[in-house]
Structure 1
Amino acid sequence: MSNGSPLQALAHAAQKAALSAAMSLPPSVQRRLAGSPVVLDGQTLAVDTQLMLKLQKLSGDPPIETMAFPDGRVQARVQTAMAGGKQPIGAVRDLEVAGLPARLYTPRARVSVAVRQPPAPLLVFFHGGGFFFGDLDTHDATCRILAERGEALVLAVDYRLAPEHRFPAAYDDAVAAYRWAVEHVEELGVDRDRIAVGGDSAGGNLAAGVALEAARSGLPCAFQLLVYPATDATRATESLRLFGAGFYLSAEFMELANDSYMTEGLDPRDPRLSPAYADVPEGVAPAYVCTAGFDPLRDEGEAYARKLSDAGVTVELKRFEDQIHSFFNIVGVGRSSRAAVAEIADRLRAGLAPRA
């Protein structure tokens, strides 16, 4: 699949318009369209999310895990563009970070003031995508919200993807990118004492690994933002059994992610791959860990939060009970997912606030 023929572009535009209209309907109307509430494990799926899943099924679009890698990557960009919308931002600049493509987001408050401002807080961000898809574009809308509402610079990094580049390529890239950010604080206009690392899903896995490495090597890291992080490649969880089909992220997708990224003979408990099995050193940054109620990754993310807390790390754990995996990208349509992302951005702002 290329970027799309004119006919495909027209179809995507129509699909986007239908999604936007449906997700803007009053909740009572959405309920009639979505059907009976989905209740599982004592949780009720958000009605707008339930309707979105129904529309996705009706669209006939094949799941990404069933597509060839190049096609799936294009499909991911199409889907996230539909769900992300156009989000305001002060400035966006593409740059190279440790030899990797990257994108720096600056909130409007930092570009609209004529006077020189003090150094800014920074979030070094790694996108999700199972280690085999995702890029700067799939998470562009969300990074804009994190920057604007979080009142921080956001440096999104496009690490190497599997299966072209298998473990530990993504991990090595993430550590190198974070080191680069620390070494270039003056160039970026960043406060060295207010640097955070964050990511979602596979990116949350990388962010968790970077936070551990920062503590081991003495790099400054003030905060870690982990959004439904993948933390345990053994995947023996009840949430995978409960939510591995019908809620966007599937058990088949997760199996493909492991098969694509892991090398033959690799122990899935390697701590660079599975932070759940890592030793927690002294000085690990405070963490905000959030999960989604209807997400196969829910239990491993929450177990990792408990692991950090048991090791003495300051941790805030939040489960968005009515959400699915990928809600972090749904910021341009609907209500419930965008509200959750706004809350996450608020926690970023609080985590990087100047210390008294």
Structure 2
Amino acid sequence: MSMDPEIAALLKQFGIGGPPPATPPTVAEMRAGNRMLSLAVAPDPPIEVGAVEDDRVAGVPARVYRPEGEGPVPTVVFFHGGGFVVGDLDTHDGICRRLCRDVGAVVVAVGYRLAPEFPFPAGFDDCVAVTSHVGDHIADFGGGVLAVAGDSAGGNLAAGVALAFRDEGRPLAAQLLAYPATDLSGKGGHRSRTENATGYLLTTAEVEMVTGLYLAEAAPETADRPPASPLLASDHTGLAPAVIACGDLDPLRDEGLAYADALADAGVPVEKRLYPGLVHGFMSFTDKSSAADAAVTEMFTEFGELMRA
């Protein structure tokens, strides 16, 4: 499978995808590089929505996007990717603006605490706190149903929140998981971790490094169960309907697809999507790649349909 040519050209332009550096980057370098690339590929000019406001929700930094128009609409709590270590409200601003516009939902983007300064479960606890607050005060947001969404590490967090809400009997209309990390145990033997280990933006070595930073202070068995590893939950019944989408050239591909299969086997309605030629992080490349743009259009359409079912 060859990489989407527009993404391949983009990665070449930024000097990404060659041999890994002899010395791993520092956390500060990782954050700076992620921010640089994310802002460089963001839609320009920014996608227009009804309103955007920075706030704190349940004490956690957040950015609230509101669509044009009046009346009740869904509310989506969104968790950004970045391996639990990098990423912020700015790096995913373009994704959240498009989600708000295309789905017609209020989007609450969560600036959860990052490792290694704040290892597991700090970030997850922030995500649960914000989603719970939004659910308890839904009239202050969209006024309609509540859903969660996230990409990569954010997909892991969204899946974990969905499991927590199921266990607490709290309503959740849908979940959108884009190339989610669902198995942090390191024991899954997922073929894509080997097939796509290097050359496609995210490397397996980077996955292992950030997982170690995230789980550094947790008990060893933490990685073998949710919320760290949603795939390893003993029971997936009763979860919110899901859209789960992965790029074919992603080291996280197989654990994302396995999570879709686990939900389907448990009777959860799932839209499972695998996009040829796309790499990890493709949601950020919609302004540069027609294939990524088409994938996100499909994902957001199906997610919106779940919330309005």
Q: Residue deviations 1:267-326, cap 9 Å, x none?
A: 221311001111335431101100110000000000011111111111110001120001
Aligned residues: 302
Q: TM-score, normalised by structure 1?
A: 0.81
State the 1:215 CA deviation.
Answer: 1.0
Q: Kindly report which structure 2 residues correspond to 1:100-179, keeping only aligned pairs within 5 A, or say none.
A: 100-107=60-67, 109-110=68-69, 117-179=70-132
- 2:164 and 2:250 map into 1 onto residues whose CA distance is 27
1:212–1:284 contact (8 Å) kept in structure 2: yes
| Secondary structure in structure 1 of the residue aligned to 2:156 | helix
Structure 2 equivalent of residue 266 of structure 1: 220
The 1:224–1:138 alpha-carbon spacing in structure 2 relative to 1, beyond 3 Å, is same
- 2:297 and 2:260 map into 1 onto residues whose CA distance is 21
Structure 2 equivalent of residue 255 of structure 1: 208
What is the CA RMSD across the aligned residues, in angstroms?
2.0
| 1:348 aligns to 2:303 (yes or no) | yes
AA aligned opposite 1:308:
L
Structure 2 equivalent of residue 34 of structure 1: none
- 1:131 and 1:76 map into 2 onto residues whose CA distance is 12
Structure 1 equivalent of residue 9 of structure 2: 51
The 1:319–1:139 alpha-carbon spacing in structure 2 relative to 1, beyond 3 Å, is same
- 1:240 and 1:149 map into 2 onto residues whose CA distance is 32
- 2:15 and 2:28 map into 1 onto residues whose CA distance is 22
- 2:302 and 2:143 map into 1 onto residues whose CA distance is 19
The 1:189–1:328 alpha-carbon spacing in structure 2 relative to 1, beyond 3 Å, is closer
- 1:133 and 1:105 map into 2 onto residues whose CA distance is 22
| 1:93 aligns to 2:63 (yes or no) | no
State the 1:153 CA deviation.
Answer: 1.0
AA aligned opposite 2:300:
A
5+ residue gaps, structure 1, are 1-42, 111-116
Q: Residue deviations 1:185-226, cap 9 Å, x none?
A: 1222421xx211110000000000111111111111000100
Q: Residue deviations 1:9-47, cap 9 Å, x none?
A: xxxxxxxxxxxxxxxxxxxxxxxxxxxxxxxxxx33211
AA aligned opposite 1:69:
V
| Secondary structure in structure 2 of the residue aligned to 1:48 | helix
AA aligned opposite 1:169:
A
2:196–2:250 contact (8 Å) kept in structure 1: yes
AA aligned opposite 1:51:
A
The 1:258–1:59 alpha-carbon spacing in structure 2 relative to 1, beyond 3 Å, is closer
Structure 2 equivalent of residue 40 of structure 1: none
Identity %: 41
Structure 2 equivalent of residue 184 of structure 1: 137
5+ residue gaps, structure 2, are none
AA aligned opposite 1:231:
T
Structure 1 equivalent of residue 293 of structure 2: 338
AA aligned opposite 1:206:
L
Structure 2 equivalent of residue 68 of structure 1: 26
- 1:202 and 1:58 map into 2 onto residues whose CA distance is 20
2:183–2:229 contact (8 Å) kept in structure 1: yes
Q: Kindly report which structure 2 residues correspond to 1:240-319, keeping only aligned pairs within 5 A, or say none.
A: 240-264=193-217, 265-267=219-221, 268-280=223-235, 282-319=237-274
- 1:205 and 1:300 map into 2 onto residues whose CA distance is 11
- 1:216 and 1:106 map into 2 onto residues whose CA distance is 29
State the 1:58 CA deviation.
Answer: 7.2
- 1:318 and 1:206 map into 2 onto residues whose CA distance is 19
1:216–1:281 contact (8 Å) kept in structure 2: no
Which one has the largest radius of gyration?
1
| 1:218 aligns to 2:169 (yes or no) | yes
The 1:149–1:285 alpha-carbon spacing in structure 2 relative to 1, beyond 3 Å, is same
- 1:97 and 1:121 map into 2 onto residues whose CA distance is 17
- 2:124 and 2:98 map into 1 onto residues whose CA distance is 25
State the 1:68 CA deviation.
Answer: 2.2
2:54–2:64 contact (8 Å) kept in structure 1: yes
Q: TM-score, normalised by structure 2?
A: 0.92
Query: Please, which of 180, 184, 191 is the counterpart of residue 229 of structure 1?
Result: 180
The 1:59–1:253 alpha-carbon spacing in structure 2 relative to 1, beyond 3 Å, is closer
